[in-house]
Amino acid sequence: MTSQIARVLPNITGLDKSFDYLIPDELAASVRVGTVVRVELHGRRVGGWVTEILASAAPGLAFDSLKPIAKVTGFGPDRELIELAEWALVRWAARRLRPMLVTATPLRAVRALPAERRTSPSAEPTSPATVELLAAGGGALRLPPRVDVMPAILAAVRLGPCLVVVPQHDEAKLLDARLRRAGISTALMPDGWAAAAAGVDVVIGSRSAAWAPCRGLSVAVVIDEQDEALQEERAPTWHARDVIVERCRRAGVPYVLVSPAPTLVAVEEYAGSSGVVHPPAARERAGWPGVVLVDRRDEDPWKKSLVTSPLIERIRNPDLTVVCVSNITGRARVLACRACRALIRCEQCDAAVGLADDGMLSCRRCGAVRPPVCQECGASRFANLRPGVTRLREELEAAAARPVVSVTGADDQPPTRAGVYVGTEAVLHRVHRADVVAFLEFDSEMLAPRFRAAEQALALLIRAGRIAPEVLVQTFSPDHEVLRAAVAGDPAAILPGERERRRPLSLPPYGALALVSGTGSAEVAAELSKPDVEVDVGGDGTGRFLIRAADWTTLGVALNAAERPPGSRVRVEVDPPRV
């Protein structure tokens, strides 16, 4: 037996302890930090990662008592990625290394790497703004929604091996195909893991590609930095943008964050010495869609439908494909009595009730169901203040005199071809080309009780602008900063308001924020409320607690140190996007 010892982290959910194993002589040449192995643990074989190579056993542990590694499964994340994952443990209060290592590991065992495939990329056109930004050390690049990002990527590739992360896998596939047609070698993640580890010009993929191998990494590009899809929904809630920035910082290489509207985090923390680089104002405006505002302030919201005259004009035009967006599902979510104008509320919990598909009134808060009768006057005729997608489809179909297809996030099949579509924002990802995108009820997005509401509303307009040259917005707030920014093609217009709202409350990027929920969350909040813990704790009375700290390290250390009650299921969302 060799005298070397491998410290192995088992790939077992809930286990955060590593164990030491002997490295047999016949496996010594193929075992290194990051190697995926099989070991015996408590009488059964399990997979795991080698996180450290030791020259001697831990104190108090006899060398001869160690079990040998049973098998080498194949390649895994290298030392640099494991160290990056250890940083992420604190940044996103993960407590366990396993979730990041699973993301960084190939889906299937890789026992041998293919030959390196490198070229000398010289494809045109490249982006002068990106060249300028990279020469200054990297930062944020503002490109309008309807401007191609390919020149920015081609400019980055000229520096050497490049890692590109985009929000959606379909977008990665399209860019991968274009790069290969330009004579550039690529590895599309996750299936291209082995090629990425061996060496190619561009490693490209969606969110998880932030953890992909990229031999000789020289530059990284994040496309659509503003897109929420770049953040992991499951805990730990790591963000691909932040992983890429830290990875580039450790490697000493530049990065480019490309976005039509860089978030305040990107502007304040990652823009670099050059600030946000962007095209001249006239050219930038030309890259935005035409935004048409339908001002509804003079209408009576108790009586008027969301199907306005400008919308009818478009949906009745057989030459136009129109996508209608409303983030309200079902038939109706907020109702008022047409006789007495009372808001229809739940008799048990007083929440606003909606109309279910079966015609009954249903409360989304407590689940109570009752007949459709006003509790104030007994009338049964209601006004839909916020009609759902099901009801809207019926209204639109009647107004358009042609079929209307409904699309929601629950659909798993491609939508039927039609001239008019209606759905939640999921329709913007399911329908790829249209002439008009119409937001039927946009105020609930701009005025949502979330500190990132303005950025998220602008991101919806950006997505719509990628699909159609015209975006129609029905609103009672036409002077809102989000709409002014979209109409002018100047996304920086929302930044002063964002700074003014966030800085006094120490919200990101001026502080660190986490949401703690689930069984045991109250006990964790009590631990964090102790005087010697440098965080602020606030609750909303529903078992959810907001934790604030001056910086991410202070927040992560405090959250990881807080004891969890036995049997609890505490969920920690660091930097929650919808608070």
Q: What is the mean pLDDT of residues 337-353?
A: 71
Question: What is the separation of C-alpha 87 from the centre of its chain, rounded to a whole number of angstroms?
Answer: 20
Q: What is the pLDDT of residue 352?
A: 66
Q: What is the pLDDT of residue 448?
A: 83
What b/e sequence results for 83-103 when a residue is b if at least 16 CB atoms lie within 10 Å of its CB, and e otherwise?
ebbebbbbbbbbbbbbbbbeb
- Whether 571 shows a pLDDT value over 60: the answer reads yes
Write the CB contacts of 93 (distance below 8 Å, at least 6 apart in sequence).
236, 514, 555, 556, 559, 560, 572, 574
Query: CATH no. for residue 17?
Result: 3.40.1440.60
Domain boundary among 453, 474, 500: 500
pLDDT digits (tens, 9 = 90+) for 399-427: 999 999 998 777 777 888 999 999 999 99
- Give the C-alpha separation, 63 to 146, whole Å: 63
pLDDT digits (tens, 9 = 90+) for 227-245: 999 999 999 999 999 999 9
Q: Examine the domain organization and report whether 258 and 300 are in the same domain.
A: no
pTM above 0.85, yes or no: yes
| 49 φ, ψ (degrees, to nearest 5) | -120, 140
Q: Examine the domain organization and report whether 350 and 451 are in the same domain.
A: yes
Q: What is the pLDDT of residue 248?
A: 98
Q: What is the pLDDT of residue 162?
A: 98
121 belongs to a structural domain? no
Q: Examine the domain organization and report whether 169 and 69 are in the same domain.
A: no
Helix locations, 452-567, DSSP H = 453-467, 481-488, 495-502, 521-528, 552-561
pLDDT digits (tens, 9 = 90+) for 536-565: 999 877 889 999 999 999 999 999 999 999
Percent of the chain with pLDDT over 70: 93
- Whether 1 shows a pLDDT value over 50: the answer reads no
Q: Examine the domain organization and report whether 137 and 216 are in the same domain.
A: yes
How confident is residue 64, by pLDDT bands cut at 50, 70 and 90?
A: confident
Query: CATH no. for residue 470?
Result: 3.40.50
109 belongs to a structural domain? no
Q: Examine the domain organization and report whether 489 and 548 are in the same domain.
A: no
How confident is residue 374, by pLDDT bands cut at 50, 70 and 90?
A: confident
Among 247-251, 271-275, 499-503, the minimum mean pLDDT is found in: 271-275
Give the domain range for residue 11. Answer: 5-104
Q: What is the pLDDT of residue 460?
A: 97
Query: CATH no. for residue 548?
Result: 3.30.70
Q: Examine the domain organization and report whether 440 and 351 are in the same domain.
A: yes
How confident is residue 487, by pLDDT bands cut at 50, 70 and 90?
A: very high
Domain count, the chain: 4
Q: What is the mean pLDDT of residues 135-161?
A: 96
Q: What is the pLDDT of residue 180?
A: 97
Residue 556: what residue type? G
- Residue 170 burial (CB count, 10 A): 12
Domain boundary among 472, 500, 528: 500
- Give the C-alpha separation, 98 to 36, whole Å: 12
- Whether 296 shows a pLDDT value over 60: the answer reads yes
469 belongs to a structural domain? yes
Q: Which of 167, 161, 176, 156 is nearest to 239 (CA)?
A: 167
Where is pLDDT greater, at 392 or 76?
76
Q: Examine the domain organization and report whether 525 and 458 are in the same domain.
A: no
Query: CATH no. for residue 181?
Result: 3.40.50.300
Q: Examine the domain organization and report whether 153 and 273 are in the same domain.
A: yes
Q: What is the pLDDT of residue 462?
A: 98
**Which strand (E) or helix (H) includes residue 392?**
helix 389-400
240 belongs to a structural domain? yes
Q: What is the pLDDT of residue 343?
A: 65
* Beta strands across the sheet bearing 470-475: 290-295, 470-475, 436-439, 322-325, 420-423, 404-407
Q: What is the pLDDT of residue 313?
A: 97
Domain boundary among 267, 285, 303: 285
How confident is residue 348, by pLDDT bands cut at 50, 70 and 90?
A: confident
Q: Which of 507, 505, 506, 485 is nearest to 495 (CA)?
A: 485
Q: Cα(first)–Cα(last) distance of the chain, in Å?
A: 55
Q: What is the pLDDT of residue 18?
A: 93
| 119 φ, ψ (degrees, to nearest 5) | -125, -175
Q: Examine the domain organization and report whether 302 and 196 are in the same domain.
A: no
272 belongs to a structural domain? yes
